[in-house]
Structure 1
Amino acid sequence: MKLGSFIDKRAILAGDHFDHYYDAIDALIDIFGKLDLLPVSTAEVKDKVREREAQGTTVLPTGVAIPHARIEGFQDLLIGVWIPEEPLKTEQGEIGILFFFLTSQVGSLNYLPILSSIARSCSKDNFPYNLKGMNIHQIQDYFNGMVFRKELTVEDIMTPDPVTCSKDTTLEELLDLFFEKGLSYIPVIDEKNRQIGEVTIKDVLSEGVPDYIKRLGNVRFLKTLEPFEALLRNEKTILVKDIMRPCNRGLPKEASIIEAVSNISSKGYRHLPIFDGKELIGLVSETDILHKVLRG
């Protein structure tokens, strides 16, 4: 299906100037209101958008903003577009194009596939900045060239190019990655980007507590951090291969999102490696499911 078939030309704002992206959203909502497409008042839709934006930014690092509102009882999907004459700089990031979505409380069947199509477009043809200067008809033609699949796979929601390490990474370097990147799980790969193991913060903590302490029934008497002090003294010589575990999880990129959810919920996984053949290409986490499916 073509993205252009879901976007009314009357809901495309090309080159219009707004000082804040909320102003652009409001203008698109007003257009929907004038076209008598809204199930509730424009004021209520605007309030819904602001409630959603307060939960977290919908401005992506790629220059695309995807604000949306979910309206209970609404059975349609409306899409409005704003392309500024010059990218709008915001505290959340730069905006080269804004897609405003209005959908039902549970989401239209086309909503996530369209988001996935937009995300894939961000990696090619300098999208969205190549739309700058186009008129509405040219923009519509461009969207008609964007075809999306209704079937979603884990590739559509995964975090691509995840942070990885090698078996020869030192504990010091590993701790720096965990700390600086805000991670709790890192795949261990070989020189061909094939996963050979995995390491978590829990593995590091376990390494810092000797076996004899783990066998003690009560460790309340231990008031110092001596075991961790010993670990940190050797962080330059301890290697990932000394603490990593085999990786016995993962899905091919063609796997369904439901399969990923099943693995995460039934097996207690927080992260699932995603593979293209034997090559690691991404990770799907609990957070990906929350942000991109349940609250996308």
Structure 2
Amino acid sequence: MLLASFLDAKTIYFEHQVVTKEQVYHHLVEKICRSYQLPSCGNKLYEMILARDAEASTAYSSGIAIPHVRMDGFDDTLIGICFLEQPIDCAGTLVSWIALIISDKSSSKLYLNLVAALLKLSLDKEMMARLFRERDPHGVVQSLKKAEIKIKEDLRIQDIMVSNPVTIHSDEKLTVLSRLFNESGVSFVPVVDDEMGFLGEVNMLNYLKVGVPDFLMMMDNINFLKSFEPLENLFQKEDVVVVKEIMTTEVKTVDPSASIIEVVFEMIQHQKRYLSVVEKGKLVGIVTAMDIFKKVIKA
């Protein structure tokens, strides 16, 4: 199955003016509804796109936005595309093309595989330059037919993982780690060497434990302790303790080719909301339970 088989020149266009994301949505809805009969069209479809957009950003760092609408009573999958001469700022991410996907509610797997194919395409600078030079929807379809970009049949964890996660070296001080926690909003960080070799993980609890004296960990109850004073130990040690002293080296990891259900099983078995994705000893990404929820369950 090829990406080009889901495309129709009638729902592809080039925008030369400065426009907003909402204007692009309006134009795509007009083109799609003019060529296809959908259970919901016009303003209703437009509102559905905006509602889905409000749940989470659909923009990717590679310059593409992929809004998606799942529609009751629709047994097909459509893609409308707009190539933008003037990029649009979508919540801090510059987007130069928008691919709107409309599918039925049972096609999450196909949708995610389409997203994977579109993202791979967006990273191909040579191919993207060729498509923008086409200036013609029919030329876009023909170019993609020749490229033979395939839609995979099986969704793998590499299709939804975060491929450029925050990482840290084992010899970094806890001051660096605390800054990463604060700035990135993550609760765990993979530990790697200079070659991205995977060494282990360090999480927020590893960090906080530095401020808890050993004798407290041996007690069943510390209700008697009302003072914040024990955690002051953490502030004193931040400039002294390094990551390798508190990191966990024996951790469960997954291969990028692992299936979604395999990763869910491992998360439940090991009571972990996140896993490092490792291939041949090197870190290639991370996946969280929320990634699976948002990108698979709620896709």
Partner in structure 2 of residue 53 of structure 1: 53
Displacement of 1:138 in angstroms is 2.3
Secondary structure class of the residue paired with 1:160? coil
Question: Is the 1:59–1:65 contact (alpha carbons within 8 Å) kept by the matching residues of 2?
Answer: yes
Q: Which moved more, 1:13-22 or 1:74-83?
A: 13-22
Q: Which amino acid aligns with 2:49?
A: V
In structure 1, which of residues 238, 241, 245 is the aligned counterpart of residue 241 of structure 2?
A: 238
Match of 1:85 in 2: 85
The superposition leaves residues 190-247 of structure 1 with CA deviations (integer Å, 9 ceiling, x where unpaired) of 3442222211001111221112222333323323222221221121110111111123
* Superposed CA RMSD: 2.0
Q: Which residue matches 1:154?
A: 157
Tell me, in whole angstroms, the C-alpha distance in 2 between the residues paired with 1:192 and 1:63: 27
Matched, 1:9 2:9: yes
The CA distance in 2 between the partners of 1:162 and 1:72, in whole Å, is: 36
- Distance apart, 1:128 and its partner CA: 4.3
What does residue 217 of structure 1 align with? 220
* Structure 2 CA distance for aligned equivalents of residues 106 and 266 of structure 1: 27
Unaligned runs of 5+ in 2: none
Q: Secondary structure at the match of 1:273?
A: strand
Overall identity of the aligned pairs, in %:
29
Q: CA deviation at 1:52?
A: 0.8
Which residue is 2:250 aligned to? 247
Structure 2 match to 1:19? 19
How far 1:49 sits from its partner (Å)?
Answer: 1.0
Secondary structure of the 1:292 match is: helix
Aligned length: 296
Contact 1:52 1:69 in 2 (8 A): yes
> Does the 8 Å CA contact 1:96/1:129 hold for their aligned counterparts?
no
The runs of 5 or more residues in structure 1 that have no matched partner are none
Deviation at 1:261, TM superposition (A): 1.5
1:260 aligns with 2:248: no
Q: Does 1:278 align with 2:278?
A: no
For residues 57-113 of structure 1, give each alpha carbon's deviation from its aligned partner in whole angstroms, at most 9, with x where no partner exists.
Answer: 212222111112111232111110001222233444322110011111233542111
- Given that 2:198 and 2:278 are in contact with CA atoms closer than 8 Å, whether structure 1 keeps it comes out as no
Q: 8 Å contact 1:64–1:128 — kept in the other structure? A: no
Question: 1:137-152 to 2 correspondence within 5 Å?
Answer: 137-144=138-145, 145=147, 146-152=149-155
Bigger drift between 19-28 and 5-14 goes to 19-28
1:69 counterpart residue number: 69
Q: TM-score, normalised by structure 2?
A: 0.91
Q: 2:171 aligns with which of 158, 168, 172?
A: 168
CA–CA distance in 2 between the matches of 1:157 and 1:127?
23
